Structure 1
Amino acid sequence: METLLWLLTILFAVGAVSYFRLQLLHATLAVAGALLLGAIMGYVGFITLLVFLAIAIPLNMDSIRQEYLTKPMLKVYRKLMPEMSRTEQEAIDAGTVWWDGEIFSGDPDWDSLHRIPQGRLSPEEQAFLDGPVEEVCRMMDEWDVHHNRADLSPEVWQYLKDNKFFAMIIKKKYGGLEFSAYAQSRVLQKLSGCNAVLSSTVGVPNSLGPGELLQHYGTQEQQDHYLPRLATGEEIPCFALTSPEAGSDAGAIPDTGIICKGEWEGKEVIGMRLTFNKRYITLAPVATVIGLAFKLYDPDGLIGDKEELGITCALIPRDTDGLDIGRRHLPLNVPFQNGPIRGENIFVPLDFIIGGQKMAGQGWRMLVECLSVGRVITLPSCSAGGAKTLALATGAYSRIRRQFKLPVGKMEGIEEMLGRIGANAYMMDAVTTLSTKAVDLGEKPSVISAICKYHLTEKMRTAVIDSMDVHGGKGVMLGPNNYLGRAYQGAPIAITVEGANILTRNMMIYGQGAIRCHPYVLKEMQAAALKDKEEALKEFDAAVFGHIGFAVSNFFRSWWFALSGARFTYAPFSDETSKYYRAMTRYSSNMALLSDIAMGVLGGELKRKERLSARLGDMLSYLYLGSAILKRYDDQGRQKEDLPMVHWAMQDCMAKLEESMEGLLHNFPSKPLGIFLKAIIMPFGKSFKAPEDKLDHEIAKILQTPCTARSRLGEGQYLTREEGNRMGELEQILDDILASEPLYDKVCAAANERFPFTQLHKVAEKGLELGVINEQEAELLKRTEEGRLKTINVDDFDNEELVADKSLLKTSRKRSTKAA
């Protein structure tokens, strides 16, 4: 019994100091106090206390600890530390850590999350959304763009240039708009809800490209020359990074630049002879200035003593001799300008390098830092905007379209999809709002950008597939009346670009997150790399013992959270959301613990265990997505109407997080260790299930009924009720349907007959005949019938209109004539 009490005393003392993360000295004193108390009470032996002190006192003496513990550990660490390529190192060094670091801490500070200022538009930004953005949406004819021109109309192109749509990131002193990242996101959301070609065309120059790189790294001369011209649209930029042999593995580009002497404008200068073959470059066919990434070499030592300088970025004017540009790709019938760029032995001077000669070989870091910003904004915002518009459109269609004598939106199978669409749209908007605020606060969130890119493009793909299923034939038949088919065609494009989603999930999110966001791993690596032995030992000692304490803390925290269900954990609000804060604190500790164990067991092999890495990345991702959802709910005044979407999105995130965690433990390389960890972390199994059917029903009702929750969900989208705007027309028809239903019921009651909810013009005539409705109400019923038919009908075409090669029609006619 005394032995058991002794063990419980030790366990309780260590667990308590670990849970509260006391410093080493304070932890030692606390455990010593517990043992002393046990000794006084007679169930801890005096020898045990002496043994503890014999270990603890040297451990608290820096010189002894560093000499006999830290130094051997540093030696072993340097041998085991995996080799890291230059591009991997630069990717890790680039960017900043923000709320993702807090998530990795094992104890997120929820109050600090809610202190982050809410994203807001300035009066100038709001005016741009209400004016030029609204107008260019009004100018768009999607069928004309996709089917006739395979391009935006000349009028739209000119309007974009005249109103500086390509200059949202350019500073005002160069003639740009200098909008916040949040404002850029709102613009792209509205444009993407209108048309993907439009949003892509505007998004790329304001994302990774010459404008962004010039502002951060360009010489004064380059900035003064190019930025004003980019602001006015006199120059159209593109950025050429991807090669046929190097897509997501952009660091492996085979394109080269050789430093040599050559003639430029009649003079012999030191320059570069460039050979490159690029693919999938957005805006390349119309670009006037090309940002080019290549590997630069100096074999003759003309500018230094290094032969291989590394990835470099340069600006190449379109009229450069030897540049092959202008042909187009056709990305899944979504014809934004995209094409190849080639060049062989093109000579350009060194001052074409962005930032000049001093930036030779610095291109990869430049790209990674700028990509971490652009990737937070462009694709996630376009995905969120598309999902928001789809949610409202699919909800409206589900209420308008009837089958089996009731609106299809009342069928449970449709409700399931509407629930998923609505909740995901809520979550996606929340994520873009929080993430773009990070950029506006000066962050370059590389890990968060990967999370946003992967999860929001995947959610958009799910949303558009669900919407297609709800619309059925309406979504399948292309034509001017189809507002869905092009989004369906374009969804895989976002999955593929800016790093394929498979790579992003399996390698990037956790590959960078484990090092960047962990409070100690990067510090250990940096300490081990120091040349000064004394400094390296001191820094490594602080990092490695901090890491040990961190891991022990997360072990006991995870155990306690599992046993208690995290019920006693702090939550900033005592309402329906408190359980989510507590659960995420628990899972934050779980993720940190599992990360340390996975890295400890697998070492450098972890980055090759991509599915394990992906599951750890999923845990990090879902904690971030959940944080954004709760932040949005609070920022918008904790509106009870929005709770069905909050609950659905949070339960979905938590259930998927647990699924990833269980999959990680089940597939852990050491089966016994996986079983032990599951007993510690998930002794009672999963705590969350997939969202209940009731939530689907409540969200479906929101999407099909005009209300403040629905308006908040679609805020900022192009919904103006005017002819030609299919989304605005749908909103009006939805209102008309809802207003007509009581009139329909009144006529049916007066006639003592239940008419089908079709041919409402005849119902109107019957109502007038019976004297139960007036002329104005009859006109509403007639207008509703016109709108209803317009909503459910699809386009059809003459055969000749659909055949691109008209000469084939002549051949076909000749054959038909001969056969006759």
Structure 2
Amino acid sequence: MTGFIIALLLIGLYWTLLYRGVSLAVFTGVTAAVVVALAATGLIGPVGFVITALVLGLGLALFNIVPLRRRVLTHRLYGIFRKILPEMGQTEQQALEAGDVWWEAELFRGRPDWQQLLDFQLTRLSEREQAFLDNETEQLCTMLDDWQVNFELKDLPEEAWEYIRNAGFLSMLIPKEHGGLGFSAYGQSCVVAKIATRSIAAAVTVMVPNSLGPGELLVHYGTKEQQDKWLPGLASGRELPCFALTGVEVGSDAAKMPDTGVVCKRSVDGEEVLGLSLTFNKRYITLAPVATLMGLAFRLKDPDGLLGDPETVDYGITCALLATDTPGVNIGRRSYPGNAFMNGPIEGRDVFVPIDAIIGGPKQAGNGWRMLFECLSAGRGVSLPALSTATGKGMYGITSAYSRIRRQFGTEIGNFEGVQEGLGVIGGYAYILENVRNLTASGVDHCTPAVVTAMIKYHSTEMMRTVINHSMDIHSGRGIIMGPRNYLAAAYQALPVAITVEGANVMTRSLMVFGQGAIRCHPYVYSEMEAAHNPDFKAGLVEFDRLLFSHIGYSVNRMVRAFTLGVTNAKLAKAPVKNEMTVYYRHLERFSAALAFCSDLAMGTLGGALKLKESTSARLGDVLSHLYMASATLKGFEVNGGTEEDKVHARWAMEYHLHEIEQALHEFVRNYPVKAARPLLRCVALPRGRRFHGPSDATNSALCRMMLGMKLDSEFGRRMTYDIYIGRGENDPTGRLIGAYEKLQAIDDVYSEFLRAAKHGEIEGESVEQQLASALERGVLDAGQVDAIREYDRMRYDVLLTDDFSKEYLANPLSEDTRRAEGRPVDLRQAS
């Protein structure tokens, strides 16, 4: 019995050491002390002591005596690692090195420092940014009629273009010293989000120059001469920029880019000029049909060594700037990507530009892919999450309002559980998107978080897809009839653009999130790869040895932590707060440890083949993504004071994220390519099986009740609509809906009494008007109440109507006669 107790104590001791992740020196010292204590207490005799000391001593000596360890173990492992390490192409290496790691690294490493998240300061709008949002952005939104933009003009009205240029919408990221607005990433996000709730075409027009484009590339990499030449024009709106990257057959695989720039000399105005002969064929280029300045990505070749290095012919991806009226550039034709924003092809053959057209000058030759990746990393953390959040929050208000106004079978459709299944998802996703957008844009204001922006691009646009689909389902026929009354169709049509641009979602999820995240966020892997590539074998061996054994200790610790926290239902995990969210912090730490171990085992058993196992890496990427999004929700909850609305919304969000994490881990284990590893993975990652099943019906119903009763002027209502454009007036598509919703809220009790009386036969009549007359006659309602209900019923009916047109108008919507007959403004500069 004593031996059994001693064994349990030793297991507990060593399990604690491994759980806490003590150093090898501490582990060795404790082991030596244990052996001595066992001998001193007589639990092992002299012979047993000698044998134990020899066996453990030799083993621990092998690991603790560094020169011996290098000679016996590491030397051989280092040689194998150098041989099996897959070759990395230039573009792949530049992508890995681009940008920074940030909070996602804490989540990836299995032991997040929650205080770091709580101490992080979210960006707040400056006075100038708030004023721009309230005034210029509001003014632009009032100029836009989405039906006019997408169906009649298939373009923004000229006055909107002029206002966008003159008010500085295209220069939000350009510093003030160059004439721009110098807005924060968060400020840009709020402006784009607000415009998007009025017109996707206008939002994209504003978004692209403030994302990946000549302006950002010039600010970060341009020479002073280039900045002085181009930035003032970009800031004032005299220059309209586009960036030509994607080709007919080349999207994500930039290494296969066929577009070339060959270094050569030409005679220009009687002088010999060193320059580039550019040949390119680009597609899907936003703003191309109207651009005056073009950024161009191409492969730079210098066959004659004119740049001064005769050994280098192919410099790789390079970026240049040129005016679109440069001879040989063919530009101006339009594509139509389901929305009216400007997009089109650009072609050029033997287009000559001077060598200083390279962004940053000749010294930046070959650095184009890194430039693009870093700017793209920041841009997609601002622009597409802004569009997604705008859609989420817009559909939150619109669909919940419609669900109250629309009645079927004698009740508001929002009361049906089937409708609530979709409505709750809209509400939960909108809350998630707002918190994720706030944290991510604030992160971009501090660094260039490449991994975070990739994961949020994917998940935010996928959430937007789901939100729009649920909104369309709930609106039913009201959402599919095109016309000025329809506030859903334009967003629905434009959705595929967000899914495909800046890295198609299928590629972003399966290749980028974990592929880049695993290497950049891991504390040892990237450094181990650098050590393996060190041409000095001895120096590389020394560094590799240090990293390898730190890595082994890290992996063992994460395995023990993940299993322990899983078995104890995360009760041993630490939480930085004591409130309704405490339990969620603990579970996130548990899953963070599970991700760290699963990632290590995957990289260790699959090696370079992991990047070809896209479904495997994508599932680990999903775990990391949901850990990040869940932490954004927790951050938002703390910042906003944990209101009753926040409690319901955050609980829905956290139950959703934990379910998605468990589901991703389950699928990862179930489909892991090395079958022999599955039992270990299951035991560590999900020792008690799946415990989270997503938001319950009760949680979802509680969220829906809040949505259906939300007042726009409440604290939570203002927070969910501060960067949303809400039209006013009965000629505005959302104005008529919100007006009816607010009228219903004002007469809610009276209207409910009227409906109850009609249902129970206390008043007579088939029509509403007859029932109102009966209610007045019988004293159920007074005259003021009757007038209020009559006005609401008129507004309610108007909200339910859809548009219809004459065939003449549909055939020729710009004709003054057909416009006048349809009641559309004859002057196309007027919004209807």
> Shorter-normalised TM-score: what interval?
over 0.9
- Give the 3 Å change call, closer, same or farther, for CA 747–472 of structure 1 in structure 2: closer
> 2:355 matched to 1:350?
yes
Show CA shifts across 1:428-474 (max 9, x none).
Answer: 11111001111111x11110011110000000000000000000000
Aligned to 1:581: 585
Q: Is the 8 A contact 1:164 1:232 kept in 2?
A: yes
Show CA shifts across 1:129-184 (max 9, x none).
Answer: 00001111111100000110111100111111111000000000111000011111
- Give the 3 Å change call, closer, same or farther, for CA 38–495 of structure 1 in structure 2: farther
Q: Is the 8 A contact 2:171 2:235 kept in 1?
A: yes
Q: Is the 8 A contact 2:764 2:774 kept in 1?
A: no
Amino acid at match of 1:620: L
- Give the 3 Å change call, closer, same or farther, for CA 416–142 of structure 1 in structure 2: same
Amino acid at match of 1:498: E
How big is the shift at 1:251? 3.5
1:322 counterpart (307, 325, 328): 328
Q: Is the 8 A contact 1:313 1:363 kept in 2?
A: yes
Aligned to 1:797: 805
The number of residues matched between the two structures is 805
d(CA) in 2 for partners of 1:779 and 1:136? 36
d(CA) in 2 for partners of 1:396 and 1:758? 26
Q: Is the 8 A contact 2:18 2:557 kept in 1?
A: yes
SS in 1 for 2:558: helix
Question: Equivalences for 1:197-208 in 2 at 5 Å?
Answer: 197-208=201-212
Aligned to 1:732: 739
- Give the 3 Å change call, closer, same or farther, for CA 603–163 of structure 1 in structure 2: same
Aligned to 1:361: 366
Question: TM-score, normalized by length of structure 1?
Answer: 0.95
How big is the shift at 1:25? 1.0
d(CA) in 2 for partners of 1:683 and 1:175? 59
Q: Is the 8 A contact 2:623 2:661 kept in 1?
A: yes
- Give the 3 Å change call, closer, same or farther, for CA 14–526 of structure 1 in structure 2: farther
d(CA) in 1 for partners of 2:764 and 2:726? 30
Aligned to 2:100: 96
- Give the 3 Å change call, closer, same or farther, for CA 755–246 of structure 1 in structure 2: farther
Show CA shifts across 1:617-665 (max 9, x none).
Answer: 1111110111111111111111122222111111111111111101111
d(CA) in 2 for partners of 1:772 and 1:701? 28
How big is the shift at 1:679? 2.4
d(CA) in 1 for partners of 2:785 and 2:538? 88
Per mean C-alpha deviation after superposition, the further-off stretch among 92-101 and 714-723 is: 714-723
How big is the shift at 1:805? 11
Question: TM-score, normalized by length of structure 2?
Answer: 0.93
> 2:179 matched to 1:175?
yes
Amino acid at match of 2:421: E
- Give the 3 Å change call, closer, same or farther, for CA 415–164 of structure 1 in structure 2: same
Aligned to 2:19: 19
How big is the shift at 1:712? 2.7
2:408 counterpart (392, 403, 407): 403
SS in 2 for 1:117: coil
Q: Is the 8 A contact 2:242 2:287 kept in 1?
A: yes
- Give the 3 Å change call, closer, same or farther, for CA 64–155 of structure 1 in structure 2: same
How big is the shift at 1:361? 1.0
Per mean C-alpha deviation after superposition, the further-off stretch among 602-611 and 187-196 is: 187-196
Q: Which runs of 5+ in 2 are unaligned?
A: 816-832
Aligned to 1:780: 788
How big is the shift at 1:732? 2.4
Q: Is the 8 A contact 1:422 1:699 kept in 2?
A: yes
> 2:337 matched to 1:331?
yes
> 2:73 matched to 1:66?
no
- Give the 3 Å change call, closer, same or farther, for CA 627–234 of structure 1 in structure 2: same
SS in 2 for 1:170: coil
Per mean C-alpha deviation after superposition, the further-off stretch among 780-789 and 103-112 is: 780-789
How big is the shift at 1:757? 12
2:346 counterpart (335, 341, 344): 341
Aligned to 2:823: none
Per mean C-alpha deviation after superposition, the further-off stretch among 278-287 and 639-648 is: 639-648
SS in 2 for 1:655: helix
d(CA) in 2 for partners of 1:354 and 1:180? 24
How big is the shift at 1:270? 1.1
d(CA) in 2 for partners of 1:749 and 1:373? 55
d(CA) in 2 for partners of 1:511 and 1:343? 35
How big is the shift at 1:761? 5.0
- Give the 3 Å change call, closer, same or farther, for CA 704–221 of structure 1 in structure 2: same
- Give the 3 Å change call, closer, same or farther, for CA 711–761 of structure 1 in structure 2: farther
Q: Is the 8 A contact 1:248 1:498 kept in 2?
A: no
Task: Work out the percentage of aligned pairs sharing the same amino acid.
Answer: 44
- Give the 3 Å change call, closer, same or farther, for CA 705–758 of structure 1 in structure 2: farther
d(CA) in 2 for partners of 1:523 and 1:2? 47
How big is the shift at 1:335? 1.3
Aligned to 2:825: none
Amino acid at match of 1:744: Y
SS in 2 for 1:294: strand
d(CA) in 1 for partners of 2:792 and 2:514? 52
- Give the 3 Å change call, closer, same or farther, for CA 208–762 of structure 1 in structure 2: farther
d(CA) in 1 for partners of 2:668 and 2:13? 30
Aligned to 1:248: 252
How big is the shift at 1:600? 0.7
2:749 counterpart (734, 738, 742): 742
Amino acid at match of 1:421: I
Question: Equivalences for 1:79-228 in 2 at 5 Å?
Answer: 79-228=83-232
> 2:498 matched to 1:490?
no
Amino acid at match of 1:12: G
Question: Equivalences for 1:358-507 in 2 at 5 Å?
Answer: 358-441=363-446, 443-507=447-511
Aligned to 2:521: 517
d(CA) in 2 for partners of 1:748 and 1:63? 87
Aligned to 1:37: 37
- Give the 3 Å change call, closer, same or farther, for CA 204–10 of structure 1 in structure 2: same
Aligned to 1:615: 619
How big is the shift at 1:765? 4.2
SS in 1 for 2:381: helix
Q: Is the 8 A contact 1:702 1:710 kept in 2?
A: no
- Give the 3 Å change call, closer, same or farther, for CA 684–331 of structure 1 in structure 2: same
How big is the shift at 1:289? 0.3
Aligned to 2:830: none
d(CA) in 2 for partners of 1:30 and 1:635? 44
d(CA) in 1 for partners of 2:269 and 2:195? 43
1:308 counterpart (305, 308, 314): 314
d(CA) in 2 for partners of 1:367 and 1:153? 32
d(CA) in 2 for partners of 1:151 and 1:761? 44
How big is the shift at 1:740? 2.9
Q: Is the 8 A contact 1:10 1:31 kept in 2?
A: no
Question: Equivalences for 1:643-682 in 2 at 5 Å?
Answer: 643-682=647-686
Aligned to 2:723: 716
Per mean C-alpha deviation after superposition, the further-off stretch among 744-753 and 220-229 is: 744-753
d(CA) in 1 for partners of 2:158 and 2:392? 28
d(CA) in 2 for partners of 1:122 and 1:18? 48
- Give the 3 Å change call, closer, same or farther, for CA 750–395 of structure 1 in structure 2: closer
SS in 2 for 1:336: coil
d(CA) in 2 for partners of 1:750 and 1:80? 80
> 2:545 matched to 1:541?
yes
Q: Is the 8 A contact 2:91 2:254 kept in 1?
A: no
d(CA) in 2 for partners of 1:391 and 1:584? 27
Per mean C-alpha deviation after superposition, the further-off stretch among 619-628 and 678-687 is: 678-687
Show CA shifts across 1:339-372 (max 9, x none).
Answer: 0000011111111111111111110010011111
